[in-house]
Amino acid sequence: MEILAFGVQADEQPLIERAFRGRAEVRCLDVFLNEDTAPIAAGHEIISTSVNADLGAGVLEILAAGGTRMVAQRSTGFNNVDLTAAERLGLTVARVSSYSPYSVAEFAWALAMAVNRRIVRASTRTRDFDFRLHGLMGRDMHGRTAGVLGTGRIGEAFARIAHGFGMRLLGWDVTENPACRDLGMTYVPKDQLLAEADLVTLHVPLMPETRHLIDAAALKSMRDDAILVNSSRGGLIDTAALVGELRAGRFTGVGLDVYEAEAGLFFLDKSLEAVEDDTLARLVTFPNVLVTSHQAYYTEDAVGQIVDATVDNVLDYRAGRRSANVLVPRS
């Protein structure tokens, strides 16, 4: 049985091939799964997909018609999967429920510090042998307030780093994390967190209830000199509203590793094409904004854990076992 893996990055491919060696045959494709590429999976009972795969009803129907029975998603989030359609079509769907929280938390801090200390601007200048300091002044994080929206494993890891900086910690979540409380975190309503935090970071899943969690009203309630970081899911922020606030000169910096319309853009080389997304095109022009291409999870440690969990999910499916990673069980 050959497993077809869609959306495999060059750095990721040797990890996938090594993990499956001696267990199953795997063929890696660099194309992403969507309605145009789904027919490639014909004849493959098991496929594996990346975080930006289109697993809507239309794609799932093509997969099912071609003989696919199991989808192993190489990510934690599953907002891109139509689970109702998958169940109707008899498709088993599994995800990776957890991996290194440090990969994302550390990258979120990299974004925060990069925009705070103007690292990208400074690097660009020095490449041109411009060594002036004008416009590069940042702020100490020590003694300032970090607001963590979502205090699960990643939010906790972020809070531990913030605690190391000597920051005051505010948290917001549906369930309080005792480990965060032990760090001195105070749980407050979202509006209070946004109003008081010098640094706001997002670590909540994207669901209907959290879409545009940071909307126009939330953005207006934040401090004018705040730093906003999103390394979770792009749909948590109303990007058009964010652009409006940035045009008004607000915020010390914004670090975004995700974007709500990133599908079809992120992980691809669009450098020779005209970008039709006017919102993204405007966003990247702001000098206080840093956009990266959904790479927060992309460490050897995290990707290795994701691949290992994906292999386990495939082996569980073949053996008729069900784990906590299964979103839609085998029918």
Alpha carbon 71 to its chain's center? 20
Which of 118, 153, 203, 233 is the catalytic position? 233
Active site residue 294: yes
CA atoms within a 13 Å half-sphere pointing along the CA-CB vector of 130: 10
Residue 208 one-letter amino acid: P
Q: Are 57 and 83 in contact (CB under 8 A)?
A: no
Q: How far is CA 149 from CA 52, 153, 159, 204, 268, in A?
A: 23, 12, 10, 7, 29
Active site residue 233: yes
3-state secondary structure 45-79: CEEEECCCCCECHHHHHHHHHCCCCEEEECCCCCC
3-state secondary structure 223-276: CCCCEEEECCCHHHECHHHHHHHHHCCCCCEEEECCCCCCCCCCCCCCCCCCCC
State the catalytic residues.
Answer: 233, 262, 294
